[in-house]
Structure 1
Amino acid sequence: MAVLTTIGIAHTAISLVALGAGIRAFIRYKEISPTTRAGTLYIVATVLTCLTSFFIFNHGGVNEAHALGVLTLLVLAGAAIASRKRWFGRYNHRAVALAYSLTFFFHMIPGFTETGTRFPTGNPLYSSREDPALVMTIGVVFAIFVIGAILQLRHLRAAEGVLPRVRPRMPAV
């Protein structure tokens, strides 16, 4: 079993903060949003998780996990820019929320991989990163993400319907 380095311990602790904040945001607000304290904490901790991951070379160098960190940072940046630029018009809020939710799914991939290939000590759940059971687990987690994303989008659409609509004034005839 590989021993965690100091950076590995810090990385793991920060990622657990991100996951906790993300779960709180989902439960309380049904989305991760930078306009909430939980959402902001999630985003900051996720960025720090990605940055610290770049200094971990468990498997002999740069690998898929590092690429996932880059992808996560790109999705976070895209969501932040899209929320300001309104790239998706009236669907912008939903697209941004979905992007933040996608980054939460990204946390699950190395989370299950690293935890499952290390624990329980002496007899890990998965034999390697290529273990078919791990691939199936990630597939199930992805299916849960898709179901959650559909429910989230339905909730956001319904919540947007509750907002008062401003009707254009009819000109006097």
Structure 2
Amino acid sequence: MLGLTPLGAIHTAISLVAVAAGAMAFFRDKEILARSTLGKVYVVTTILTCLTGFGIFQHGGFGKPHVLGIITLLALLLAAVAGRTQLLGRASPYVETVSYSATFLFHLIPAITETSTRLPLGAPLLANAEAPELKVATGVLLVLFLIGATLQVRRLHSRNAALAGALVAPAL
């Protein structure tokens, strides 16, 4: 199926669940909330996607996809630390939100690469993962991520400012 190994097929299925959960979380909550059911599904399937990805060597040995998996796991760890502790002080909710959003970006990069180099069957859109069009697509994804992260940070800042204002409002 599409030139996938059995592990590759499992990896792809898990990653599709992660992307769907992440997209639904963004649509519903405007962010990935690790404490929500969607967020938990997203985090677990993202971890499984990374772990299964380490066993896939379609393009030779250890490479860029494996590095991206390590970076994704580190971003998940950073998000978890920021969400569960105050180690990062007032920046914690911002770091948590942007880190989870970055992991979603990290899903989309290989998704676009693998899809465009495998489909349509027999005549893929792009010849290989080094095609210049993929660099453009990655750049567009990065710009969209930066716009989304900026909007998320602004929304968190507004919410935190409103909460702080409610706490210091004088009693009548």
Tell whether the structures are fold-level matches, with TM greater than 0.5. Answer: yes
Query: Share of identical aligned residues, percent?
Result: 47
Query: Secondary structure of 2:148's match?
Result: helix
Amino acid at match of 1:7: L
Task: Please tell me whether residue 29 in structure 1 is matched to residue 5 in structure 2.
Answer: no
RMSD: 1.8
Q: Name the counterpart of 2:98.
A: 98
Spell out, residue by residue over 1:51-89, the C-alpha distance to the aligned partner (whole angstroms, 9 max, x if none): 000111100111100010011001101111122232321
Q: Name the counterpart of 1:79.
A: 79
Spell out, residue by residue over 1:73-127, the C-alpha distance to the aligned partner (whole angstroms, 9 max, x if none): 0110111112223232122111110000000000011111111111111211111
Q: Name the counterpart of 2:167.
A: 166
Q: How many residues align?
A: 169
Q: Name the counterpart of 1:14.
A: 14
The within-5 A match list for 1:59-78 is 59-78=59-78
Report the structure, 1 or 2, having the larger helix content: 2
Q: Which runs of 5+ in 2 are unaligned?
A: none
Amino acid at match of 2:60: G
Q: Which runs of 5+ in 1 are unaligned?
A: none
The 3 A distance-change label for structure 1 pair 2 and 26 is closer
Amino acid at match of 2:167: V
Q: CA deviation at 1:168?
A: 9.9
Kindly name which structure, 1 or 2, has the bigger radius of gyration based on alpha carbons: 1
Q: Runs in 1 of length 4+ with deviation above 4 angstroms?
A: none
Query: Secondary structure of 1:59's match?
Result: coil
Q: In 1, are the aligned partners of 2:22 and 2:42 still within 8 Å (CA)?
A: yes
Spell out, residue by residue over 1:122-166, the C-alpha distance to the aligned partner (whole angstroms, 9 max, x if none): 211111111111111111111111111111111111222332543
Distance across 2 between alignment mates of 1:134 and 1:36: 33
Distance across 2 between alignment mates of 1:55 and 1:104: 21
Distance across 2 between alignment mates of 1:123 and 1:87: 50
Amino acid at match of 1:72: T
Query: Secondary structure of 2:167's match?
Result: coil
Q: Name the counterpart of 2:142.
A: 142
